[in-house]
Structure 1
Amino acid sequence: MTKTTWKAGTMVYPLPAVMVTSGTMEKPNVFTAAWTGIINSEPAMTYVSIRPSRYSHELIEQNGEFVINLTTQDLLHAADFCGVKSGRDTDKFAETGMTPMPCKFVKAPQIAQSPVSVECKVTEIKKLGSHDMFIAEILAVDVDDSLLDDAGKLALEKCGLVAFCHGGYYGLSGQIGTFGFSVAKKKSRKQKIHEIKAKRRLEKAAHAAEESEEEEKTFKKRKPAFEHHERRDFEDRRRSDRKPRKFDRGERNFDNDEKPFKKPFAKKPFGDGRKEKSFGGRKPFRKTFEGKKPFADKKPARKPFKPKAQ
């Protein structure tokens, strides 16, 4: 193999294409950067190199905070737009449709659509020449819940991350190895079974999600039929809630607490206006002795004599 020697240049690729947010929630700003990475693990520290002419350079230097947001294929158009437009005269969030979201430890916003956002606080600024390096400590990492599996492990391969390589954007083809696989021992039978079960759990969860989507689609198709039954039920409830009509004779309306309706007699009661000829020209018997005891002026009859036994 032969190689050609070039002059010194920035030929270290691929690099992460990230969107760096700064400012505040009231006045947020975002720009795209590729010159960023990890420089320490304990404490966790990162950096981002920015030209002094950039508007974000002014905001980060003033506030001492920024947020690194990972870029996906869905956010690629917005990331490219934020890399060529300036925030001095353009509201990039409004133009791209991205949503600023508050962070927990810094005042700078994060991008809600980004799967991973890294909250950073500047500890040192190194002036290197064409760029200034902002060295910062990582205070927190905000991760989308949909990227976590049942065991709480982060699955970044699901979100479709984007890398920057020599002026172009490239997607990640997939995992081809893990750290230390060259010297790793062969997996035991127990480990293989554990991985198979974990894979089946993920497949089962994905299948359940697909079934729920299909059920929702079928429900939307059958919605007019459901609405018809719901309308009938509503009409039945409305009839039951309607004010009750007048009850029939002899019944009682307990809702209005009315007295029961007394059915009138077919004829007038005895002695009230009946013809006197039915009594032989005399007044009715009830009125004759009204208020008096019958035979009160007569003496009671004597008891028959009974001789005493001797």
Structure 2
Amino acid sequence: MAKEMWKPGNMLYPVPPVLVTCQNKKGESNMLTVAWAGTVCSTPAMLSISVRKERYSHAMLMETGEFVVNLPTEDLVWETDEAGVRSGRDINKWEKLHLHQEEGKVLSVPMISECPVNMECKVKQVLELGSHDLFLAEIVAVHVDSSLLDEKKRLQLEKAKLLAYSHGQYFGLGKVLGSFGFSVRKGAKKNKGK
């Protein structure tokens, strides 16, 4: 396979586009789309989001140190994109996108009702990186739509039809190709793309 040099930049794709909700101390809330988000620690459960300083929500995040990561579905792709290209300085995104606030159970930040998974997060550290600030946060509560749980209360996230984002395009997550550790299970054989 021939490879060419490419300009530096974010090449770690696909990424999960998430809807982040935040609120200032006056109780005014906003949402923004963040594509640079990810798990950073399992114990304690932590994640990170990267946000530009000029974003309207940046000041809210700095003021309260709280936010909710809401996982959007394929049915919310338009709202996910719109929340990322419009500013809360100019519009009320809750009204414009017809999304509904659900009260947080641990923090004061609202969750998005239409998203099947909501993670309430408390900022532990902010790292200034350049164009973006990285917010490292502990996940203090996770809320999952009951339709994603089987009879044994195991999470079946593949049922959620979550989104992926890669180089300016949104994708629905496709079929399951394997599960963690399947390659070393007894009798496992490599799938040759069939």
TM range (shorter): over 0.9
CA distance in 2, matches of 1:123, 1:26: 21
CA RMSD, Structure 1 to Structure 2 (Å): 1.4
- Higher-strand-fraction structure: 2
Instruction: Give the alignment's TM-score, normalised by structure 1.
Output: 0.59
Q: Does 1:72 align with 2:76?
A: no
> Partners of 1:149 and 1:7 in 2: how far apart?
45
Q: Unaligned regions of 5+ residues in structure 1, if any?
A: 188-310
Q: Which has the larger radius of gyration?
A: 1
Counterpart residue number, 2:192? none
Quote the residue 1:131 is aligned against: 132
Report the count of equivalent residues.
Answer: 187
Aligned to 1:140: 141
Report 1:15-26 matches (<5 A): 15-23=15-23, 26=27
SS of 2:6's equivalent?
coil
Query: Could you tell me how far apart the structure 2 residues matched to 1:145 and 1:7 are?
Result: 44
Q: Name the CA distance, whole Å, in 1 between partners of 2:73 and 2:53.
A: 27
Q: Which position in structure 1 is the counterpart of 2:153?
A: 152
Seq. identity, %? 47
Q: Could you tell me which residue of structure 1 aligns to residue 6 of structure 2? A: 6
Deviation at 1:67, TM superposition (A): 0.4
Highest relative contact order (Cα 8 Å, sep 6+), 1 or 2? 2
1:71 offset after TM fit, Å? Answer: 1.0
**TM-score (norm. length: structure 2):** 0.93
Q: Return the letter of the residue paired with 2:20.
A: V
Q: Which structure 2 residue ranges, 5 or more long, are not aligned?
A: 189-194
Q: Residue type of the partner of 2:13?
A: Y
User: Quick one: which amino acid aligns to residue 40 of structure 2?
Assistant: I
Aligned residue type for 1:6: W
Higher helix share: 1
Question: 5 Å matches for 1:1-310?
Answer: 1-23=1-23, 26-186=27-187
8 Å Cα contact 1:28/1:100 also seen in 2:
no
Using the TM superposition, give the Cα deviation of residue 75 of structure 1 relative to its aligned residue in structure 2, in angstroms: 0.9
Deviations 1:238-261 (A, max 9, x none): xxxxxxxxxxxxxxxxxxxxxxxx
Q: Secondary structure at the match of 2:75?
A: coil
Please report how far the alpha carbon of residue 27 of structure 1 lies from its aligned counterpart in structure 2 after TM superposition: 2.3
State the partner residue of 1:281.
none
Deviation per residue, 1:82-121 (Å, 9 max, x gap): 0011011210011111001111111111000101001100
Report the CA distance between 1:26 and its aligned residue.
Answer: 4.5
Look up the SS of the partner of 1:42 in the other structure.
coil
Provide the C-alpha distance between the structure 2 equivalents of 1:71 and 1:101, rounded to a whole number of angstroms: 15
- Within 1, Cα distance between the matches of 2:97 and 2:86? 11
